[in-house]
Structure 1
Amino acid sequence: MKKIIITGALGQIGTELVVKCRELYGTDNVLATDINEPEEGSEVAKGPFQILDVTDREKMFKTVEEFGADTMMHMAALLSAVAEKRPMFAWDLNMGGLMNALETAREYDLQFFTPSSIGSFGNSTPKVNTPQVTIQRPSTMYGVNKVAGELLCQYYFEKFGVDTRSVRFPGLISYVKEPGGGTTDYAVEIYFQAVREGKYASFIDKGTYMDMMFMDDAINAIIKLMEADGGKLIHRNAYNLSGMSIEPEMVKEAIQEYYPDFELTYDVDPDRQGIADTWPDNLDVSCARAEWGFNPEFDLDRMTKTMLDAIEKQEGKQK
């Protein structure tokens, strides 16, 4: 990777991916794009940026050609809960944008990354130690998009030789950018509310286990996969990833180590709970470990301390 274009650069993953790639490869070698302008003074705005609607294929071609990119990281997508409320828009953006990105990668011989998700699984998928290769019959538009995306990426690799790579991300937890419409968002909101209010009402019910990962581990996983020897990648589209399998009471107990009076209640959202109930409890990540050395560094305790310390600093608060 020498010159990288990142779509959806203002999203939860894209924001931090841009910063990390600029640290590693040089600010001028990473072009951030999004349909919206970045906030003045933000990290994304401190380097090359261009407005790009991923549903506009001609503009995508032109942007890649003018920048001279050799790598595309396609992050632009509508998340699970929002996609379920706007299924037609989700299809047009998630699938139309991906097709345009893959065509761009084929036309300009780009190395290509786009994330899949645990949303690609469904009720018929084994929920415990979910295998790398297993039945995928999701019941949401987001999940359908992700399964189709995995298959499309594999098709472009096998048919056209495009170096496509992907991972199935679990819920991602970060203090840099608050979430925007995902089923696992409770695991981010709970930390912000612990600092701000000392209490949180979870929209996901107790006992609902889902895979999660701290954002630093997720960003490092993207970089590591993209730099891996392609000849060793068997399951390139897409690898199961996870840092931990947790449910809300576990997060509460971790927070109470630092905020003993923190209170967790429940106001369950039937829509997002219904989505969560179709997802695995925990994933088998052995293929990612074996094929390219996936090795997350953050467990629940370390992540909790990091999240609380960072949010306190941002909020200007001390315990």
Structure 2
Amino acid sequence: MNTKILIIGACGQIGTELTHKLRTIYGTENVIASDIRKMNTDVVNSGPFEVVNALDFNQIEHLVEVHQITDVYLMAALLSATAEKNPAFAWDLNMNSLFHVLNLAKAKKIKKIFWPSSIAVFGPTTPKENTPQYTIMEPSTVYGISKQAGERWCEYYHHIFGVDVRSIRYPGLISWSSPPGGGTTDYAVDIYYKALSQGTYECFLSSETKMPMMYMDDAIQATIDIMKADADQIKIRSSYNLAAMSFTPTEIAAEIKKSIPDFEITYKPDFRQQIADSWPASIDDSSARKDWGWKHKFDLTSMTQDMLLHLSKQ
């Protein structure tokens, strides 16, 4: 049977790039992009697109049946900083959209699910450095609470109903092709834009706040790799730790200065500082590397060069 993919939340920061990549691999007609509204973007204009509300089970079920979908990538979510402003809606969206696709898989209407988790599942009591795959998880944000609950449900549906659901805990993601989406790690995207357009950046985190980060190219590759892996390689059905690099605002600014010597950064921490302080500084992802062969390509230097190259062209 042909792989037919539905991406829910295709117009978001990850969904945009994931859609393009999956279309190059599986063919444009086999990758159905969907989101809550039709925007004038590449994703909408470059292949099949459907308007869908991730909270509406019947809409999702209809799309799955009409397009004979085998794999669903559920990318719709309210991210950390945005979720704190609207906790009830964040919980509703992040949890019920997941139940909808898990239940479709339980009913054998789809074969495979990708659902992203996040380093937000960890909290202030989690070991900060080299955070283990299995550790204390007491998230202190709405986003983190919903992702932690989601991990438990994914594992439950796999063990009880045999649902093939796969997940990775994304660190902060950095991309040149789509603007930030309301996350606490967004500073590491915005800083490149401001460095090129204004030569200065006011950071909403303190200078030594170290967080795990990843270039979007690596995150997309990991997402595709875990979905391509044989089912018996996926030993963890909650979510895999994933890592590439960890750095502070001071370190990213120093890297930018190599290309833009006059660049200046100032610091004015806001409510996102508290969120960042509750997250790990670095991640142990040895399980993902061992089980399904995860490898990252980009470090801070190569990512900075690539970001500045692409953004200066824009």
Alignment TM class, shorter chain as reference = over 0.9
- Structure 1 counterpart of 2:53: 53
Contact 1:80 1:182 in 2 (8 A): yes
Cα distance, 1:237 vs. partner? 2.2
State the one-letter code of the partner of 1:142: Y
- Structure 1 counterpart of 2:215: 214
- Structure 2 counterpart of 1:29: 30
Q: Quick one: distance in 2 between partners of 1:193 and 1:91? A: 32
- Structure 2 counterpart of 1:317: none
Q: Quick one: distance in 1 between partners of 2:45 and 2:245? A: 33
Q: Quick one: distance in 2 between partners of 1:313 and 1:105? A: 43
1:1-319 matches, cutoff 5 A: 2-39=3-40, 42-107=42-107, 108-269=109-270, 271-314=271-314
Identity of aligned residues (%): 50
Q: Quick one: distance in 2 between partners of 1:60 and 1:105? A: 12
Q: Quick one: distance in 2 between partners of 1:155 and 1:52? A: 26
Deviations 1:262-302 (A, max 9, x none): 00101111x10000000001000100000001101000000
Cα distance, 1:106 vs. partner? 2.0
Q: Quick one: distance in 2 between partners of 1:285 and 1:44? A: 34
Contact 2:64 2:110 in 1 (8 A): no
Deviates more, 1:228-237 or 1:201-210: 228-237
Contact 1:14 1:75 in 2 (8 A): yes
Q: Quick one: distance in 1 between partners of 2:78 and 2:86? A: 9
The answer for unaligned runs of 5 or more in structure 1 is: 315-319
Contact 1:72 1:105 in 2 (8 A): no
SS at match of 2:185: coil
Q: How many residues are aligned here?
A: 312
Cα distance, 1:234 vs. partner? 1.4
Deviations 1:157-210 (A, max 9, x none): 111111000000000000010112100000000000001001100001111100
Contact 1:241 1:285 in 2 (8 A): yes
State the one-letter code of the partner of 1:69: I
Cα distance, 1:104 vs. partner? 1.8
Question: TM-score if structure 2 supplies the norm length?
Answer: 0.98
Deviations 1:201-259 (A, max 9, x none): 00011111000000000000000000111112212321111110011000001101100
Q: Quick one: distance in 1 between partners of 2:111 and 2:67? A: 12
Q: Quick one: distance in 2 between partners of 1:104 and 1:12? A: 25
Q: Quick one: distance in 2 between partners of 1:98 and 1:109? A: 13
State the one-letter code of the partner of 1:145: S
Cα distance, 1:110 vs. partner? 2.1
Contact 1:54 1:101 in 2 (8 A): no
Q: Quick one: distance in 1 between partners of 2:185 and 2:44? A: 25
Q: Quick one: distance in 2 between partners of 1:281 and 1:125? A: 10
Deviates more, 1:166-175 or 1:229-238: 229-238
Contact 1:19 1:44 in 2 (8 A): no
Q: Give every structure 1 segment of 4 or more consecutive aligned residues whose post-TM-superposition deviation is greater than 6 Å.
A: none
Cα distance, 1:44 vs. partner? 3.7
Contact 2:122 2:280 in 1 (8 A): yes
- Are the structure 2 counterparts of residues 43 and 91 from structure 1 closer, same or farther at C-alpha, using a change threshold of 3 Å? closer
Cα distance, 1:91 vs. partner? 0.8
Contact 1:18 1:44 in 2 (8 A): no
State the one-letter code of the partner of 1:7: I
Q: Quick one: distance in 1 between partners of 2:120 and 2:264? A: 29
Q: Quick one: distance in 1 between partners of 2:39 and 2:3? A: 23
Q: Quick one: distance in 2 between partners of 1:310 and 1:175? A: 7
The answer for unaligned runs of 5 or more in structure 2 is: none
Cα distance, 1:103 vs. partner? 1.1
Contact 2:158 2:237 in 1 (8 A): no
Contact 1:15 1:44 in 2 (8 A): no
Q: Quick one: distance in 2 between partners of 1:127 and 1:44? A: 40
Deviates more, 1:209-218 or 1:103-112: 103-112
Contact 1:34 1:51 in 2 (8 A): yes
Deviates more, 1:166-175 or 1:42-51: 42-51
State the one-letter code of the partner of 1:77: A
